[in-house]
């Protein structure tokens, strides 16, 4: 991973941190939030990879990735507000998604 762009490394790190976290969520939420949170994170990663493989659609794919990242932020906040997720993990997730948002925004600005 050493030669990759920071956005790919940080996305991988987010997934590596997030998957064990959602596995610990209460059983009654495993079919909903605990499933949707990693799905959205994986979708974000998929869109980033697709953006590098499809140069003609890079900007559109990055905008979709931005939407997925926004949804991930909302899901984490919802988990916190429902007291499914403690404050410290929520804070860490917010920090990680904010950093990814800055990197994604930089990539989008570089295309314009």
Is 6-111 a CATH 3.40.50.2300 domain?
A: no
How far apart CA 76 and CA 85 sit, in angstroms, is: 8
Mean pLDDT computed over 30-58: 94
Mean pLDDT, residues 57-71 taken together: 97
Residue 3 has pLDDT above 60, yes or no: no
In the predicted model, what is the mean pLDDT of the chain?
94
- pLDDT in the model for residue 2: 39
Residue 55: DSSP 8-state: G
Structure tokens at 47: 């869109």
Q: Where are the domains of the chain?
A: 6-111
The answer to whether 22 and 15 are in contact (CB under 8 A) is no
Report the pLDDT value the prediction gives residue 26, as an integer from 0 to 100: 85
* Those residues with Cβ within 8 angstroms of residue 96's Cβ, 6 or more apart along the chain or in another chain: 10, 13, 14, 17
Percentage of the chain surpassing pLDDT 90? 86
Provide the CA 111 distance to its chain's centre, in angstroms: 21
């Amino acid at each position: 991973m050493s030669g990759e762009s920071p956005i790919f490394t940080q996305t991988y790190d987010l997934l590596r941190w997030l998957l064990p976290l959602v596995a610990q969520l209460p059983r009654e939420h495993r079919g909903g939030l605990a499933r949707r949170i990693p799905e959205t994170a994986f979708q974000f990663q998929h869109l980033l990879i697709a953006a590098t493989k499809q140069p003609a659609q890079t900007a559109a794919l990055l905008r979709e990735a931005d939407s997925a990242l926004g949804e991930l932020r909302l899901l984490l906040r919802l988990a916190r507000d429902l007291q499914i997720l403690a404050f410290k993990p929520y804070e860490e997730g917010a920090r990680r998604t904010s950093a990814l948002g800055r990197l994604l925004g930089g990539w989008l600005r570089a295309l314009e």
